[in-house]
Amino acid sequence: MPETESTENSRIINEKWFTETPQGKALAGSRCRKCGRTYFPRKRVCVQCFEDGRMEDVALSRMGRLYTFTVAEAGPPGFTLPYAFGYVDLPEGVRVFSPLGGDFARLEIGAEMEMAIGPIRQDDGVDVIGYIFKPV
Amino acid sequence: MREVAVVGVGMTLFGKHTETIRELGEEAVWAALQDAGMSPKDVQVAYAGNALGRISGQEMVSGQMVLREVGITGIPITRIEDACASASFAFRESWLAIASGLYDVAMAVGYEKMTGATTAQIMEALAGASDTELEADLGITFPGVFAMVARRHMYQYGTTREQIAYVSVKNHDNGALNPRSQYQKRFSIEEVLASRPIASPLNLLDCCPISDGCAAAVLVAKDLAPRYTRKPVWVAASGQASGFFEPGSDVTVLKPTIAASQSAYKQAGLGPEDIDLAEVHDCFTIAEVLHTEDLGFAPKGEGGPFIMDGNTAIGGRIPINTSGGLLSKGHPVGATGLAQIVEIVEQLRGQSGHRQVQGARAGLAMCLGGFMHSDAGVVAVHILKA
Ligand SMILES: [Zn+2]
């Protein structure tokens, strides 16, 4: 069973955050057709030009650059320590808060990151599946 | 707008208490009333700051529950939640209620009970001061938020890890002079750097502790002030701004702090150079570096060396967190904003003992509530004058 479907032992954190592309799951955003500002997750009203009803669905880039990050040695229940998180800037002008995976030693500001899908925490023994950015 | 004076302040010791918020509240509110020589029946309106009702269990009507203990009943009482700045806004609403002319006497109180819960439970509860859907559920923590800020500040301005650690050293030095501080212990830069890693690059001694406590202040209209005190402290300005959440915003520049402080400086007719001391929201060491810059005490990017050079120590150009700040005095979240006011009021009255800033005439209190999408949630800036 691929990790991109909800099962008895896992669930997708929020189906609405994702869209299918030929390359696999991508983050599902909205792009304002009037001013071009792009958002994640999807939304209805553009807060740059206040245009309503002219958003189009877009699949966001799976690649981005790491704006900043931390490796946490303490955290809320459900996270396996240590775990990493940070902000990733996507080429569409969207900054996404994301769990980070891969080799933590390779995390640095400006690093090129690629989105993956996988477990981000446990909730009552169920894996919660979400997006994770990893250094390329 | 009418002029408003603070005529009474009170607070509990900050730290680990066996008492409940009911008992802590009674102690601090009664102390504020005693300080003002005021009957509870004189209070016409009250605002209560509290953030973590889910930890204490008293998630609703806690303002009425606490104030009932001192006989403040029947009047309008409203609870305010704005994360760590909850009590700052209890103070601001009290000021506004009087300045507007609607009421003459107001009580501002803030309280929090945090000990007894596990650190993991506290981290989870505090993560509720982010965007819970898009950040907290994905693992964000507040040490992590400010760790990300620290990493960026070091990257952009060359701020050193030692400069950041020195904030903790300085504030613990001040806390050691404050009998109400949770910690009375000094630390070296080396000890901060050797303390347990929490969220890289921050360690345990870069983080404020988990605390219980309550703080309160009584405010009155100008013409009533002489009835209660010979040393009124005037609310010269109250500024508030929320996050701007602009795309790609620079996490090392907290625009709400700049907006709230510019508004406050304008109201008070003062600039940063006129401020004799400040209490700022040092929830984590790096936060004080940012606030020192965003409040205009040091140029952007130069907060690290400015603090390291002693400019913000007692006796320096602009003493910051003479109380010990959140790092040493403690951080009972919903009480913090008013504990800052208590420190400024006592400093302006010349009652601060060994940590007294000589000749202090104007003090600033800055508090930050919440953080999401790389901006502060909300910021309060108050300026008080002797
Ligand atoms: Zn638009």
Each domain of chain A, given as residue ranges in start order, spans 11-135
| B40: its two tokens | 């509870």
One domain for residues B325 and B197: yes
Q: Are residues B258 and B378 in the same domain?
A: yes
The answer on B266 and B170 residing in a single domain is yes
Better-predicted residue by pLDDT, B287 or A4? B287
Q: What is the span of the domain harbouring residue B157? A: 128-208+237-385
Give the mean model confidence (pLDDT) for residues B136-152: 97
- A87 Cβ neighbours under 8 A, 6+ residues apart: A66, A67, A68, A69, A95, A96, A97, A98, B148, B251, B374
Clarify whether residues B281 and B190 are in a common domain: yes
For residues B179 and B14, give the distance between their C-alpha atoms in angstroms, rounded to a whole number.
Answer: 10
CB atoms A70 and B138 under 8 Å: no
User: Is residue B308 domain-shared with residue B227, that is, in the same domain?
Assistant: no
Which candidate in A43, A83, A97, A115 is best for mutational testing of the B interface (most B CBs within 10 A)?
Answer: A97
What residues of chain A have any CB closer than 8 angstroms to a CB in chain B?
13-14, 37, 41, 67-77, 79, 83, 85-87, 89, 93-95, 97-99, 109, 120-121, 130
The residue written with tokens 């040695």 in the block is A73
Which has the closest alpha carbon to B268: B82, B12, B126, B95? B95
- The pLDDT of residue A53 is above 90: no
**Does position A3 have pLDDT exceeding 60, yes or no?**
no
Q: How many CB atoms lie within 10 A of CB B385?
A: 20
d(CA B310, CA B96) in angstroms, rounded, equals 36
Structure tokens given for A71: 């490796």
The number of residues making up chain A comes to: 136
Same domain, B148 and B282: yes
pLDDT for A4? 58
Q: What's the mean pLDDT when you consider all of chain B? A: 97
Check residue A7 and give its pLDDT.
Answer: 77
Burial (CB count <10 Å: 0-12, 13-18, 19+), residue B79:
buried
| pLDDT, average across residues A2-15 | 80
Q: Is the pLDDT of residue A1 over 70?
A: no
User: Given an 8 Å threshold on Cβ–Cβ distance, is A97 in contact with B248?
Assistant: no
Averaged pLDDT for residues A111-128: 96
Segment B137-144 shows an average pLDDT of 97
Contact A91, A63 (CB under 8 A): yes
> Are B45 and B162 members of one domain?
no
Chain centroid to CA B121: 22
> Model pTM?
0.97
Is residue B43 within 8 Å of B218, Cβ to Cβ?
A: yes
A87 DSSP 8-state letter? E
Note the ipTM here: 0.95
Instruction: Give first-to-last CA distance, chain A, whole Å.
Output: 25
Q: Assess if residue B122 is contained within a domain.
A: no
Q: Is the pLDDT of residue B57 over 70?
A: yes
Q: How many domains does chain B have?
A: 2
What's the average model confidence in pLDDT over B220-242? 97
- Asked if residue B325 and residue B286 are part of one domain, the reply reads yes
Cβ contacts of A115 on chain B, cutoff 8 Å: none
Residue B123 lies in a domain: no
Q: Please pick, among B84, B207, B283, B367, the residue that the annotation labels catalytic.
A: B84
B124 vs B203: CA distance, rounded Å = 18
Report the residue of A70, A98, A133 to disrupt the B interface, i.e. the one with the largest count of B CBs within 10 Å: A70
- Centroid of ligand 1 to alpha carbon of A31 (angstroms): 8
| Cβ–Cβ under 8 Å, residues B11 and B342 | yes
- The CA dihedral of B327, B332, B333, B337, to the nearest 10 degrees, is -80
If you measure from the C-alpha of residue A34 to the centroid of ligand 1, how many angstroms do you get, rounded to a whole number?
A: 5
Mutation site, B122, B126, B135, B140, interface A, largest A CB count within 10 A: B140
Same domain, B77 and B193: no
Q: B142 and B97 share a domain?
A: no
Q: Give residues with Cβ within 8 angstroms of A3, minimum separation 6.
A: A10, A117, A118, A119, A129
B253 domain residue, yes or no? yes
Q: Which H or E run contains A119?
A: strand A112-123
For residue B49, tell me if it sits in a domain: yes
Residues B270 and B380 in one domain: yes
Domain harbouring B78, CATH code: 3.40.47.10
Same domain, B276 and B320: yes
Read off the pLDDT of each residue in B11-36 and give the average, rounded to a whole number: 98
Residues of B in contact with A85 (CB under 8 A): 138-140, 144
Per-residue pLDDT band at A5 (split at 50, 70, 90): low
Q: Phi then psi for B274, rounded to 5 degrees?
A: -90, -5
Q: How far is the CA of A18 from the centre of ligand 1 (A)?
A: 22
Percent pLDDT > 70 in chain B is: 100
Q: Cα separation of B345 and B85, whole Å?
A: 18
% of chain A beyond a pLDDT of 90: 90
Mean pLDDT value across chain A? 94
Model confidence over B310-359: pLDDT tens digits?
999 999 999 999 999 999 999 999 999 999 999 999 999 999 999 999 99
Is residue B71 in a domain? yes
Smallest CA–CA distance from B252 into chain A, residue: A68
